Chains A and B, each alone.
Chain A
Amino acid sequence: MKASVIVFPGSNCDRDAAVALEAAMGAAPTMVWHGDSELPNSDLILLPGGFSYGDYLRSGAMAAHSPIMREVVRRAKAGTPVLGICNGFQVLTESGLLPGVLMRNTNLRFICEDVLLKVERNDTAFARCYAKGAVVRFPIAHKDGCYFADEATLDRLESENRVAFRYCEASGAVTAEANPNGSRRNIAGIYNETGTVLGLMPHPERLADAALSGTDGAKMFASLVETLH
């Protein structure tokens, strides 16, 4: 499996993603600079977390217009799996690969903590190692993580089974108390129509190592390796 991690100015989870990918793949991914217009052949493209371009216009907005994104969009539309984590999710919505937008958290503050997520689907390249309905623990670290879309879009996402993860209680119950940032319908991550593009606010790469008090995130990378090797 060959993976590419896109590095924007201000990306800061690029190394963390590369470490988690390498642990799963047994080989290092290619780090691709945003200014490049050529993207190596990749079985997976990862857009990492961080503050691309300082998030100065809107989170992810400027990165969506980076030279490399034209190629990322083309590959995504041709079926190459794309994983956007945190700022990467914001870039995916800004570039139109995923619907909706990530707004300021309802408490208006940055939040860094572990959250529990309900795995809504396990029939994708990203989630096959999880049980459907399982509750997993990933960290979040964002100020703009409140997922918003109009009601029609949210209904469509649900009817097309495109919600990837929802914030939940330990029991799996999807409640307002379990929602850290005000996301509509507790949505933490979504897929595109074909289930090949995943954007999520929580960070699987941050709990993918037993020394870091949890390994629930490692299963996402294991899923990708199993599917794409």
Chain B
Amino acid sequence: MSGATRAARQATSLSDELIAEHGISPDEYARLLEGLGREPTLTELGIFSVMWSEHCSYKSSRVWLKKLPTTGPQVIQGPGENAGVVDLGDGQAAVFKMESHNHPSYIEPYQGAATGVGGIMRDVFTMGARPVANMNALRFGAPEHPKTRHLVSGVVSGIGDYGNCMGVPTVGGETNFDARFNDNILVNAMTVGLVDANRIFKSAAKGVGLPVVYVGSKTGRDGIHGATMASAEFDEASQEKRPTVQVGDPFTEKLLLEACLELMAEDAIVAIQDMGAAGLTSSSVEMADKGGVGIDLDLDHVPTREEGMTAYEMLLSESQERMLMVLKPGAEPIAERIFTKWELDFAVIGETTDTGRLVVRHAGVVEADIPLAALAHAAPVYERPWVPREKPPTIAPEDVKAPNSILGALECLMGSPHLASRRWIWEQYDHMVMADTVQRPGGDAAVVRVHGTKKGLAISCDVTPRYCAADPYEGAKQAVAECWRNLMAVGAAPLAITDCMNFGNPERPEIMGEFVGAVEGMAEACGALGFPVVSGNVSLYNETNGIAIPPTPAIGGVGLISDIADMASIALKQDGDLLLLLGGETGHLGQSTYMQVMTDRLEGAPPPVDLAAERRVGDLVRALIKAHAVSAVHDVSDGGLLVAIAEMALASNRGVTLETAPDRLPAHARWFGEDQARYVVAAAPDKADGIHKAAAVAEVPVRVLGSVGGDMITLPGETPLSLTALKAAHGEWLPRFMAHG
């Protein structure tokens, strides 16, 4: 019996409701019929449903993502593969990507976050790279929200348990608390790996008659339609979607990692693709489509965890820790030997063909027979209507209430949920395994040594959702600029970014307008800073009952330090050193942490980003680091100048004595304004002249802020703030919050 025959017989049972339940619109169904040339079977409908889901097809975002710069001399692989790749010189390359696991993490925080980490690591080792660092960017609701503590606890232990077991250090990240994430948290995970530049593996299955091999865990009924869930809004019934959340097994993934890398050292693999979203369907379709071939699968050979699984279930399962490979002819025995050694399933489940079709058989019946062109290239692409966001007014510093005391305000800010220490989180992550973490969490960027060399990879994740909510364009520019700045601040040459675009429902023109604004802002900043996008992920429909999250384009950047002896950190090193501010001061308080914590308003325009100034100041700072003219460096971001200084003091347990600032600006605007393109540096007094001269040449303003020493933060006219009190305020909030269930 041919597939078409079975299809014709089954087709009558596909009701409009069933089609709608698969997230396929009437227009899309018409397109499906045209591409297929007949009515689909239920299995085929499932295949189209996941392949055309927002999650897999990027149908709403694709036209806009094309605006992002993706090339540069350092780029070996841009978007389109499992992860991006940049050149590190000496035949080495870094492979990295960030991905969201927002919807599952809200429904089941531990497993959702764990499998997010597992998925992104698979993306990286699929390319042949050994993961060397994990990062994460987390957004939770307000601390007062009844679910927040439970979500933080589950997400953090899920991330920790997975990465810790894998033996890949989780070296940093960022965490925000904001009521606008109460009903949709964001869990974005990033992995960076290392690979020899001439040993990169891709997903194009070029060649006919090649064995298609399934390795890893068995397939179960978990995660079916996960990709479709991640492409819809939440409502009251969303908790019922728990069964669509996958369950992670980091031990199996560790074995899979080692087995894959062992096989990759042999000359055996033509193409490899991890089974992530949309599982076997997506991996087989992508490999065949990219290779320009067809693919035949026989599901009778798929290792299954449960009895009686249907073709539909096997094709749509998102069971974790699985890989699909196309091997060179005759390479099956060596592959089987390696996977058996690691006690993993290994099965030849099909072969590549010259038909250009995906043909799936199960129990002797053709369950699906679809031209790949109809699945992949005919996927819908939408130019969704959008409206630009009106720019909020700029708030003058004088219009924001001053505090009773500057140092009192500093203590409040440092002990607020927004700036309090994240140690409680990163202490649960093994951030030292692999013994190459040369800069641990808590600084501007984490730095891991390229194993066996003196080179370092600097990594930072950044975005300020409150800025993006006020002005998506300027906020996205800021996210890219801050990431770039954090890499510069440790002495790295920024190479490229990955992004995780978290937004609401793109079918609403105002949300689509946020997306467009953010992409345009990113494109401008990436272009101006020579910081291309090499990989990324879009997560839409982050909204519940029509209320969307703030637009959150999370940026994960990677930079290279050619010699870690030239690395900078935020810790003050020496009493008597001078503290200097590099960069201008306008006292921008709109959308600032000061405004959020010390007043009851959070309004106005976010700080504007002058990309030319970013470059000038950043290049100066990196040159000073390289010349060993500065002993500590910190970028100025959330909380402004005084918070940056306080963080440097706490990192080293050294006090600072600050001088009276010129009174052109109100004191609270000067100390807490969030003007961009600024760094605080410490330097030995005999280096100050040279720094002033270099800054003058670079046309960068410099101001001496004070000097290092003692055990207090001292400001003229104010009662000094002891580091002990500051440390307590900064350190206690999160543990106390988490302890009081």
Contacts and interface: CB of A to CB of B under 8 A. Distances in A.
B449 interface: yes
A110 B433 CA distance: 13
B665 to A, nearest CB: 38
A170 to B, nearest CB: 12
Contacts of B426: 112
A211 B564 contact: yes
B35 interface: no
A60 interface: no
A72 to B, nearest CB: 20
A16 B435 contact: yes
A16 B341 CA distance: 23
A129 interface: no
B251 A10 contact: yes
Q: Which of A12, A19, A139, A143 has the most CB of B within 10 A?
A: A12
Interface stretch (B121-129, B138-146, B161-169, B308-316): B161-169
B249 to A, nearest CB: 7
B432 A141 contact: yes
Nearest to A52: B251
Contacts of A143: 164
B435 A212 contact: yes
A226 interface: no
Interface string A200-211: 000101101101
B164 A110 contact: yes
A151 interface: no
Given A51-B251, A110-B160, A211-B449, A12 B167 contact: yes
Given A51-B251, A110-B161, A16 B433 contact: yes
B167 A209 contact: no
B435 A53 contact: no
B171 to A, nearest CB: 11
A184 interface: no
Contacts of A209: 435
B428 A9 contact: no
A209 B427 CA distance: 21
Dominant SS among interface residues on chain A: mixed
B254 A51 contact: yes
Nearest to A139: B432
A12 B166 contact: yes
A141 B164 contact: yes
Given A9-B342, A211-B449, A211-B564, A111 B435 contact: no
Contacts of B165: 10, 12, 51, 54-55
Nearest to A56: B251
* Band of interface residues on A: 20 to 34
Contacts of B430: 110, 112, 141
A10 B254 contact: yes
Interface in A105-121: 109-113
Contacts of B437: 212
Contact of B254 (A12, A111, A139, A212): A12
Interface string A74-112: 000000000000000000000000000000000001111
Contacts of A56: 251
Given A12-B166, A50-B167, A212-B437, A112 B251 contact: no
Interface in A1-35: 9-10, 12-13, 15-16, 19-20, 35
Q: Which of B157, B428, B430 has the most CB of A within 10 A?
A: B430
Contacts, number: 86
Interface in A145-192: none
B343 interface: yes
Contacts of B432: 112, 139, 141, 203, 206, 212
Contacts of A203: 432
A52 B432 CA distance: 18
Contacts of A9: 251, 254-255, 342-343
A138 B80 CA distance: 43
Contacts of A49: 433
B250 interface: yes
A54 B250 contact: yes
Interface in B562-579: 564
A109 B249 CA distance: 19
B342 A109 contact: no
A10 B167 CA distance: 9
A55 B434 CA distance: 19
A205 B427 contact: no
Contacts of A20: 435
Interface string B147-189: 0000000000100110011110000000000000000000000
A23 B166 CA distance: 25
B265 to A, nearest CB: 15
Contacts of B634: none
Given A10-B165, A51-B254, A53-B251, A112 B564 contact: no
A53 B255 CA distance: 10
B429 interface: yes
B431 interface: yes
B430 to A, nearest CB: 4
B374 interface: no
B389 to A, nearest CB: 41
B438 interface: yes
Interface in B417-456: 426-438, 440, 449
B250 A211 contact: no
A23 B449 CA distance: 17
A61 to B, nearest CB: 14
Contacts of B251: 9-10, 51, 53-56
B520 to A, nearest CB: 40
Contacts of A211: 438, 449, 564
Nearest to B130: A15
B736 to A, nearest CB: 14
Given A10-B254, A51-B251, A212-B438, A112 B431 contact: yes
Contacts of A50: 167
20 contacts: A9-B251, A9-B254, A9-B255, A9-B343, A16-B434, A20-B435, A51-B250, A53-B251, A54-B249, A109-B428, A110-B430, A111-B428, A112-B427, A112-B430, A113-B427, A141-B430, A208-B435, A211-B564, A212-B435, A213-B438
5 closest cross-chain pairs (CB), A and B? A12-B167, A54-B251, A16-B435, A141-B430, A51-B165
Interface of B: 157, 160-161, 164-167, 249-252, 254-255, 341-343, 426-438, 440, 449, 564
Interface of A: 9-10, 12-13, 15-16, 19-20, 35, 49-51, 53-56, 109-113, 139, 141, 143, 203, 205-206, 208-209, 211-213
